[in-house]
Structure 1
Amino acid sequence: MMSLLSKLERIPGEMCRLPSHGIGYEQGVFADDVTNGDVMVFPVSSYDEIILKTPEKLLSGTAIYEVFKRRIPAIKQPEKLFHKDVDFLMTVLRKVSYGEEVQVTFNHECKEDSKDHSYVVNISSLLQGTKRIDPTALSNTFTLENGQEVCMGTMLFSDMLELTQLRLKMMNQEIGETDDIILEYENTACDAISRSIISVDDVTDKQQIKEWLFNVPIAYREALNVNIEEYNSSWGMSLDSISKCKDCGQEISLRPTINPVSFFMLP
């Protein structure tokens, strides 16, 4: 006789292809039989849902890593995933766990008496609009005003999370402790960004790149940030969905949050 657990194992998941196609990862991040970034995603359990709603686990990243290991078993080292792939996988998890639709509450504020309205966003439509990474453009090279050539790669989810953690820490600090936190934030930011920089003038040493980031003029740092943003927007999925305002009829852009605390709430 088939056991209850074995029957659960037969509940279908969904095979999906990562926006990165699995390109650019070191060996060991995925199971040996994964090709082209194709992984099977299974629905979350009630226990997984609780984990994804635990603030401490979310902020540390362990919530997502734990759930990915259980529900996307082909991913062996989720902490090494690109943040664009994590966003995509969270959306697929939402779809296979709760269905095709998610509700978004939005007030266009187009009239004095405009109200909050509930809109439905189709998750499959969002996933179908995913931009696939260009295998010939795994890195992004650009030149600063002083002639230095910077070669950028893709930022990891863990690096993005580290920056978020420190921002929250800064917001919660007493005024007298601000200077130390600002220095800590800048060091952390330089450390995280340096890990996504492949080289500067062919120099690949991460410590040298970090020191360079810490001392580079603000105008160059801003140019670097703009370039990073442009490169990151060249692939991956967008959560923007176009609908019509229920008050004025104009087109509006709806954006369901990818934050697991609210994104994994049942509609």
Structure 2
Amino acid sequence: MTDNPLTKYFRKPAIYVSLPTKGKFNPEIDQTIIEEVGVMPMTAIDEITMRNPDALLNGEAMISLIESCVPSIKDARKLCNIDAEALYMAIQYATNGSNLTYTHTCKECENKNDFNIDIDFVLNKFPEINKVEPVVYENLTIHMRPPTLESVTRVALIQLEEQRIVNNVKNDITNDKDELELAKKFYKSFKRVAEYNVDLISETIDKIETPEGEVTDKKQIIEFLANVPTSVVTNMDKRVKDIAKKPEALNNFEFKCPECDHVQKVNIEINPANFS
């Protein structure tokens, strides 16, 4: 096959960034480039994909975007979510430059104004995650890891499912349906959601150290989670949420209206799929 003479004009990395976790939880990433991960601009196909609501909701858009723009990331599903968020900001930088435009409506005078958000500033606010403190239960040491992009997306879908269940039950109550049947339906739906949640927590467990050795088998870990006191699972769930929580500085911005000088603090979710 003849080499394409246009190859030399293909996109190239426009920015190099360091992952917040330094790839510690993703051994499949080439550790020789972990301090400087090359990020390329979006293609036209990438931009179209990011406008697809269904693809955004199920995470496929973000997965596709990262694998397209960051060639060193071969499987974005396994990527720690906080690394994915940092890479998304870096992709914005590589594509559109260092400023992200945000249109703000003043709470006082209702005037709309465009403000620039410095992506460099946001990237520098991402915390370094070098270690996650394990959870201790009796003589077990449960080693946790930050949630992956895939698992955080699934959490968002579960939350939507929970809301759908509540709305359906409210509608059924309004329509005077049989209360016993409603209760059964409600229980069955939430039991399924609870099982999904346990499954998701299992994915944030790297390994469990026992006096006899290490356990890494996912089925065994899920069985363990289904048979320990709720306080143990709650403790792990809290640890995961603490890991996943981003610093307020990443999303909180202060805008001063040029029309009336009113200053307002605004929380902006820069990630289009609102993963965190």
TM-score (norm 1): 0.77
- Seen in structure 2, the aligned counterparts of structure 1 residues 59 and 232 have a Cα distance that, compared at 3 Å, is closer
Measure the CA separation in 1 of the matches of 2:225 and 2:46: 39
Higher-Rg member (1/2): 2
Task: Identify the range of structure 1 (150-159 vs 223-232) with the bigger mean alpha-carbon deviation.
Answer: 223-232
Partner of 1:265: none
Partner of 1:264: none
Q: Does 1:120 align with 2:120?
A: no
The structural deviation recorded for 1:220 is 4.2
The DSSP-based 3-state class of the residue aligned with 1:23 is coil
Measure the CA separation in 2 of the matches of 1:108 and 1:214: 49
The structural deviation recorded for 1:51 is 0.7
Structure 1 segment 90-105 matched on structure 2, within 5 A: 90-105=88-103
Contact 1:107–1:116 (CA<8 Å) still a contact in 2? yes
The structural deviation recorded for 1:43 is 0.7
Partner of 2:223: 211
Measure the CA separation in 1 of the matches of 2:136 and 2:72: 38
Contact 1:81–1:156 (CA<8 Å) still a contact in 2? yes
The alignment yields a C-alpha RMSD, in angstroms, of 3.3
Residue 142 of structure 2, aligned match among 150, 158, 161: 150
Partner of 1:43: 41
Contact 1:23–1:37 (CA<8 Å) still a contact in 2? no
Deviations 1:162-216 (CA, angstroms, capped at 9, x unpaired):
2222222333343354433312211111111112123456362433432343354
The structural deviation recorded for 1:131 is 1.8
Partner of 1:130: 126
- Seen in structure 2, the aligned counterparts of structure 1 residues 68 and 255 have a Cα distance that, compared at 3 Å, is same
Contact 2:13–2:38 (CA<8 Å) still a contact in 1? no
One-letter amino acid matched to 1:50:
I
The structural deviation recorded for 1:36 is 2.5
Measure the CA separation in 2 of the matches of 1:15 and 1:53: 25
The structural deviation recorded for 1:155 is 1.5
The structural deviation recorded for 1:4 is 7.6
The structural deviation recorded for 1:99 is 2.0
Structure 1 segment 183-262 matched on structure 2, within 5 A: 183-200=191-208, 202=210, 204=215, 205-233=217-245, 239-246=250-257, 249-250=262-263, 252-260=265-273
The structural deviation recorded for 1:221 is 3.7
The DSSP-based 3-state class of the residue aligned with 1:243 is strand
One-letter amino acid matched to 1:71:
C
- Seen in structure 2, the aligned counterparts of structure 1 residues 10 and 192 have a Cα distance that, compared at 3 Å, is closer
Residue 160 of structure 2, aligned match among 147, 159, 168: 168
One-letter amino acid matched to 1:255:
I
Contact 1:243–1:253 (CA<8 Å) still a contact in 2? yes
One-letter amino acid matched to 1:89:
L
The structural deviation recorded for 1:108 is 7.1
One-letter amino acid matched to 1:224:
M
The structural deviation recorded for 1:14 is 1.4
Deviations 1:134-157 (CA, angstroms, capped at 9, x unpaired):
2xx2x322346x786433122111
User: Any gaps of 5 or more consecutive residues in structure 2?
Assistant: 170-181
Partner of 1:140: 133
Residue 66 of structure 1, aligned match among 64, 81, 88: 64
Partner of 2:174: none
Measure the CA separation in 1 of the matches of 2:122 and 2:147: 22
User: Any gaps of 5 or more consecutive residues in structure 1?
Assistant: 262-267
Greater RCO (CA < 8 Å, at least 6 residues apart): 1
- Seen in structure 2, the aligned counterparts of structure 1 residues 260 and 154 have a Cα distance that, compared at 3 Å, is closer
Aligned pairs, how many? 250
Deviations 1:114-146 (CA, angstroms, capped at 9, x unpaired):
666543311111012222222xx2x322346x7
Measure the CA separation in 2 of the matches of 1:223 and 1:169: 24
Partner of 1:77: 75
